[in-house]
Amino acid sequence: MPTPKKKTSKSRRDMRRSHDGLSAPAMAVDKKSGELVRPHVAFKAADGALYYKGKQISAAKAKK
């Protein structure tokens, strides 16, 4: 198996790995409740109802 003729420098090695870092997920603030939510994803609020873009899309579960 072939081996490299010269050592790869730290700079070249790190430039190759520059796109491997993780980024934080995008978050938005819900208009109604003020909670942090993922954009384009429905979320369940404390009342048990599903919300999307600040609008209720499913009914809250009735308490027993």
Cβ–Cβ under 8 Å, residues 46 and 56: no
pLDDT of residue 64: 65
Give the start-end residues of each E strand in 3-60. 28-29, 36-37, 43-44, 50-52, 55-56
Q: What is the helix, strand, coil percentage profile of the chain, to 5?
A: 15, 15, 65
Residue ranges of the chain with per-residue pLDDT less than 50: none
pLDDT of residue 14: 94
pLDDT of residue 1: 85
pLDDT of residue 6: 96
